[in-house]
Amino acid sequence: MSENGGLERIESPVTARGYFLCGFAAFGGILFGYDSGYINGVLGMDYFKREFGHPTTLDNSGYNIKTWEKSLITSILSAGTFCGALAGGSVADWIGRRLSIMIACAIFSAGVVLQVASTTVEMLVCGRVLAGFGVGLVSAIVIMYMSEIAPKAIRGAIVSGYQWAITIGLLLASCVNQGTHEYDNSGSYRIPIAIQWLWAIILGVGLFFLPESPRWFVKKGRHEEARYALSRIRGQPSDSDYIKDELAEIQANYEFEANISKATWFDCFKGLGRSGNFRRVLIGVFLQMFQQWTGINFIFYYGTTFFQTSGISNAFLISLITNLVNVLTTPLSFWMIERFGRRSILIGGAALMLVCEFIIAAVGTALPGSSTASTILIVFVCIYIFGFATTWGPAAWVVIGEIFPLPIRAKGVALSTASNWLWNFVIGYITPYMVDPGEGNLQAKVFFVWGSTCTLSLLFAYFFVPETKGLSLEQVDQMMAESTARTSAKWKPHETYGQRMRRETGAAAAQVTDKHDATGEKGSL
């Protein structure tokens, strides 16, 4: 690091062009959101029920999808994404973050083709598995890529943009479903499925113009390429002192961590102490698990059919409104996550959501089928979505992109994202058995379940999630080693990794000199 380098010079200033490069990768969230959301409306379409379902007296259309088929069609996407997320760690370390996302877009596109062409449940399921694998790759690698290239001052806001893109994808799916659900032909469901191919093209082509992560180049020992990539991202000349100092800090951090542990999958499960990798993996895995157990995907996967069975007219319109609330309130998190921090909004958001869920459950159980219960359901679901969209939605993704050291970052983010998709699959699969009229038929009482799991989410955030606001990724690494979750907000940076390595190298050299002098004195006696 240059002579004037220090804590204030570990990150270069960023131009408007640099911010755009950092933010574009968030577009990957649209694939996630749209592919997750279109199935919500498609399952409620009369033509789809006739095409893929069976005669029944339980539905006004005279046809319905069997509960086990509905579970499989919805949840199988998450099985594919689980595998894709796990694979993402190794693929991103092998060929780089940027190229991995582009390949994932191609895989996703192949899955879309199968879904559009499907006329049977079996073929639709195969297409969703393949598309899911692509989405899993994207979801794991985009978060890591954005975290590695975004400036620390707005890294939370930039990564929150990924969650906003997810909500936009959900809203777009709801809008398309609203426009096609009355078609009395296969276009009613094929159009919503086919449109998602457009998002893959935009992301895949756009990444041709983005640089690779400089931290991946450092990990591969390609320092000149890292300097050039960092220069493009920050919008600074490659020979700028800022670029030299930031790159020197990234290199020093990687060398320090590489001396402590390697980058194998086994190393992810070493150490439960403050600086242990396994501690960080557990935080990431459980954080993503509890994000799913807030119950949010119950609304976005099964909201339309749940509103229909709850006696609410215009279920498609209500579903569209919930998606609109999601999109319009998520940008508030861009400010909140940098103003109040990750840990604080996770705790506050869980508190707001659990209150809403218990109110819905209590009123719906006490006054089933009443207009009061229907009004309470709609109003408090919207408030609950606001709580999720501004807190747990973005913050869970932000934190997992920040807490892992560079040697295992790709694998740590992959494990955390895989946890998200594993529990997404579990919840997507069991929910129809909990709420369908021919099965559990819990109706509003299902919100007692989500309220209870949201309470556990609050406790987890309070006791285990550290505050990472305003720190570079290298400083987050130091903070994790030197503080606990409850004291992390008070931690302040006190030295760079470059300074630390020089200090430790100097101390080691002094020990060698002292030992040599002592040996010389003994020999002269």
- Residue given tokens 């790759």 in the structure block: 137
What does pTM read for this prediction?
A: 0.77
CA distance 158 to 145: 11
Q: What is the pLDDT of residue 143?
A: 84
Tokens of 211: 């640089």
- Asked if 276 and 282 count as a contact pair (C-beta separation under 8 A), the reply is no
Assigned CATH topology for domain 15-210? Growth Hormone; Chain: A; (1.20.1250)
CB 113 within 8 A of CB 367: no
Alpha carbon distance 197, 40 (integer Å): 18
- What pLDDT was estimated at residue 512? 45
Over the chain (525 residues), the average pLDDT of each successive run of 10 is: 49 69 83 82 84 74 77 84 89 91 94 92 92 90 86 81 87 87 88 92 90 91 92 86 86 78 81 86 96 87 74 79 89 92 96 95 88 88 94 93 88 91 86 80 88 96 93 87 90 73 58 53 49
pLDDT for res 1: 44
369 secondary structure, DSSP code: T
- From the CB of residue 129, how many other CB atoms can be counted at a distance below 10 Å? 19
DSSP structural state of residue 295: -
The token pair that represents 144 in the structure block: 């890591």
Q: Does residue 436 sit in helix, strand or coil? A: coil
Pull the structure tokens for residue 5: 């380098």
Q: Where in the chain is the domain with CATH 1.20.1250.20?
A: 15-210, 270-509
CATH for the 270-509 domain, from 3.30.2010.10, 1.20.1250.20, 3.30.470.20, 3.40.50.1100: 1.20.1250.20
CA 471 – CA 492 distance, rounded (Å): 9
- For 106, other C-beta atoms within 10 Å of its C-beta total 11
Reduce the DSSP state of residue 222 to 3 states and report it.
coil
Nearest C-alpha neighbor of 421 from the set 124, 4, 149, 131: 131
* pLDDT of res. 359: 95
The predicted structure's pLDDT at residue 498? 63
